Amino acid sequence: MSDLAFENVGVRYGHGPAAHQAVRGVSLHVPSGRTVGLVGESGSGKSTLARAVVGLHEAHTGRILVDGTDVVGARGSAAFVRRTVQLIFQDANSCLNPRMSIGASIEEALAVRGRSTRRDRAHRRGEVAALLEMVELDPARAGDLPMQLSGGQRQRVAIARALAAEPRVLLADEITSALDVSVQGTVLNLLMRVQRDLDLTVLFISHNLAVVRQLCDDVAVMKDGEVVEIGSATEVIDHPEHPYTRELVRAVPRIGTPLFGKGTTL
């Protein structure tokens, strides 16, 4: 069990007068074992917030607590805590090393957790195979290069690699927005299943409100680096209160509902 809490977190790019405040004083709680959606448009700071948890950006104000340990600028044991948080990226093309077999990529993640170094090769192979099976890929493909996989399969390998690190918290940053709709469902179902099986805490970043509504327990809406609305996913999306959330919900295309009804002004 692990929970993730942001307390008044601010992240900025650059220095001095040219600095851009990407995240401004965000406080958000992702309770243990729950899936919280984070929605908002490009530039709203949602990815930056997730990257600040794992240290790809450092927060300049506030605290990011993983199970009560502040991981901002983490060193030593806090860095170890930070590693229980894993990030899955949007672009399945660039998240795997094109020169490494998918098995080797997963094995590397195992090695860092100290699970594979001590034991023999056969055992390591077994663990890689188990992880590939967990993400519904044929273990015989461990020797394949990322090029030989489809986008959806690559994204599943990325999930397997994240799971190899035995995370307690998963950050999923637009993991299906580069995928075709036919493939999207498989990846989302997989995420849902591992979340339940392993009792993971998940921060699910997406711009797709329908997906967030179906997948997440709660949702936070970000705009210009701030959280403007927060609540249970169905509540917020079915009955949005903030004007910005309303606009977001209104803009979602639905099959059979004309985007511009008779009354809309063009």
Partner 1 sequence: MAVTSMSTPDSALAGPAAATAVGEPMPMAVSSRRRFLTVLRSPLGIGALAALMVVAVFAVFGPVLWGEAARQADLTQLSAKPSADHLLGTDAGGRDVLARVLTATRLSIVTAVLSAALGVFVGVVIGLLPTIAPRRLGRLVNSAIGVALAFPALLLAIVVSITLGVGATSVTLAIGLAMAPSYARLTQTLGASVTGRDFVAAARILGVSRARILVRHVLPNVRDPLIVNASIGAGTALVAATGLSFLGLGVQAPDYDWGRMLNESMGAIYVNPAPSLGLGAAIVFAGVTFALAGEVLARAFGLHRPSGRRRRRKTTGSTAASPVPQVAEDPVLRVRGLRVEAPRGDGWATPVRGVSFDIDRGEIVGIVGESGSGKSLTCMAVASLLEEPLHVTASSVQFDGTELVVRGKVPGRPRSKSLAQQLGTRLAFVFQDPSTSLNPALHVGTQVAEVGLLHGGLSRREARRRAVDRLAAVRLSDPARRARQYPHEFSGGMRQRATIAMGLMGEPALVIADEPTTALDVTVQREVLALLRRVNREHGTAVMFVSHDISLVSSFCTRVLVMYRGAIVESLSTEDLASGRAAHPYTRALVAAVPHMDAVPGTEFATITEDAEFPLDAVREGSV
User: How would you classify the pairing of strands 85-88 and 169-173?
Assistant: parallel
Element (H, E) at 49: helix 46-54
Say whether residue 87 binds partner 1 (CB under 8 A): yes
Element (H, E) at 222: strand 218-223
Say whether residue 41 binds partner 1 (CB under 8 A): yes
Task: Name which of residues 2 to 31 contact partner 1 (CB under 8 A).
Answer: none
Say whether residue 69 binds partner 1 (CB under 8 A): no
Say whether residue 257 binds partner 1 (CB under 8 A): yes
Q: Considering only the stretches 3-11, 21-29, 124-132, 233-241, report the one whose residues sit in contact with partner 1 under the rule CB under 8 A.
A: 233-241
Options 9, 30, 142, 158; binder of partner 1; rule CB under 8 A: 158
Helices (H) and strands (E) in the chain, counts: 9, 10
Q: What distance in Å separates the CA atoms of residue 181 and residue 19, rounded to the nearest whole number?
A: 38
Say whether residue 175 binds partner 1 (CB under 8 A): no
Say whether residue 78 binds partner 1 (CB under 8 A): no
**123: Cα within 13 Å, side-chain hemisphere:** 8
Options 92, 128, 135, 221; binder of partner 1; rule CB under 8 A: 92
Q: Considering only the stretches 23-31, 62-70, 78-86, 126-134, report the one whose residues sit in contact with partner 1 under the rule CB under 8 A.
A: 78-86
Nearest Cα residue to 210 out of 234, 190, 232: 234
Each residue of 255-265: b (16+ CB within 10 Å) or e?
eeeeeeeeeee
Nearer to partner 1, 27 or 226 (CB): 226
Say whether residue 225 binds partner 1 (CB under 8 A): no
Closest approach of Cβ 199 to partner 1, in Å?
15
Nearer to partner 1, 130 or 147 (CB): 147
Task: Name which of residues 109 to 148 contact partner 1 (CB under 8 A).
Answer: 109, 112, 144-145, 147-148
Token duo for residue 213: 């509504």
Nearest Cα residue to 216 out of 255, 172, 178: 172
Say whether residue 236 binds partner 1 (CB under 8 A): no
Q: What distance in Å separates the CA atoms of residue 210 and residue 188, rounded to the nearest whole number?
A: 12
Closest approach of Cβ 25 to partner 1, in Å?
23
* Contact call for residues 205 and 174 (beta carbons, < 8 A): yes
Say whether residue 108 binds partner 1 (CB under 8 A): yes
Say whether residue 95 binds partner 1 (CB under 8 A): yes
Say whether residue 59 binds partner 1 (CB under 8 A): no
∠ CA(148), CA(151), CA(152), 5° rounding? 110
Nearer to partner 1, 27 or 127 (CB): 127
